[in-house]
Structure formats: C-alpha cells, structure tokens
Amino acid sequence: MKVVIGCFAVFISVFYAVGFGLLGYGLWSAWRSVHAAAWPTAPGTITHLALEEHSGNEDTTYGVKVKYTYTVDGVAYEGSCLAFGYARSNRREAHEQIHRKLKEAKAVGVRYDPSEPSVSCLSFGLHRSIQFTLVFAVTWLLIVFGFTLLFWVFSRNDAVLLDNLSVQ
C-alpha cells in the first residue's frame, strides 16, 4: 500500500505543480498589469503591427503582435508588450478591435516602469487573458485536490460498517 501511495504522490504532484505554476503566472501577470496603471507614460511610435492567426487541430486563435519605440530621459527603447499576461484566443473580433485601434493611431502612450524603463506595455488592467488564466488555474487545482481527497478516502480501510454490525 505504501508503494501505491508513493506512486500516487509522485503522479499527482506533477498536476499540482502545473496548477500552482499557472496560478503563479496569473497572479504575477495580474500584479504587473495592475501596477502598470500607475506607471508614467511616454509617447511611442508603432514600428510593427500584425493580427496573427494560428490554426490548430480543432481551433483557430488570434493575437495582436506589436513592436514600438519610445524615449525616456533621452534613451531610446523598443518594446513589444501589448499588456502583461495578454494571450491570443479564439475571439477574433476582440483582437481585430485592438489591431484596428492601434493601426489607426498616430502615436501610442507607452507605460514604462520608472525603476526599469526598458519594461513597458501599451495597456493594463485585469483583462480577459489574466482572468482566464486565474480561473483555469483555480479550477485545475480544485479538481486535482478533489482527486487527492478521493484517493485518500478510497485508500483507507472502511471498517465503519464492519465495526457497527451487530451480530449474535
């Protein structure tokens, strides 16, 4: 029985690692994206903009790729972060709207980290990509925890019925 428990612990720990990794990434992205709201802005120029389409086995996803330049205290920087935690998705219209808005822009406001001006983004906040990552990670961890509880329940001896049988 101890071998079975040890094998299960190794097996399930991989799923916990994935869940906590996703949760950590989601929380880190959320923290950075929310804090970017208070960062100073510098005028920027878009140097590359594309609406990318990725076709997979069952689905097609879309995402905006952007590169921009900006200057802080006389030093030129290049950035490519639309928003911290931003990821492509199958919601084409949402990405087309972002692409269209950036394409029509004459200039963009680049938010940069005042302690490290090379770190920048164009937008901020708890957007859908971050929300999805956090919800998915929590759901994943709850399911893994549920399987852990099921394993624990079924790995124990069930003597309750036997002990409570009244026989003569």
Domain assignment present for residue 13? The answer is yes
Its pTM surpasses 0.75: yes
- The answer to whether 123 and 83 are in contact (CB under 8 A) is yes
Closest CA to 50 of 89, 99, 85: 99
Domain assignment present for residue 78? The answer is yes
Task: Supply the DSSP symbol for 114.
Answer: T
Looking at residues 54-82, what average pLDDT do you find? Answer: 95
Domain assignment present for residue 142? The answer is yes
Domain assignment present for residue 163? The answer is no
With 90 as the cut, is the pLDDT of residue 17 above it?
Answer: yes
Domain assignment present for residue 165? The answer is no
Phi, psi of 164 (to 5 degrees): -95, 5
pLDDT at 16: 97
pLDDT per residue as tens digits for the range 88-145 = 999 999 999 999 999 999 999 999 999 999 999 999 999 999 999 999 999 999 999 9
Total count of domains within the chain: 1
Domain assignment present for residue 167? The answer is no
pLDDT per residue as tens digits for the range 25-49 = 999 999 999 999 999 999 999 999 9
Q: Determine the structural domain holding residue 146 and report its residue range.
A: 2-155
Looking at residues 6-34, what average pLDDT do you find? Answer: 95
With 80 as the cut, is the pLDDT of residue 72 above it?
Answer: yes
Domain assignment present for residue 54? The answer is yes
pLDDT band at 148 (very low <50, low <70, confident <90, very high): very high
- Of 82 and 58, the one with more pLDDT: 82
Tell me the one-letter amino acid at 88: R
Domain assignment present for residue 160? The answer is no
pLDDT at 58: 83
d(CA 167, CA 55): 67
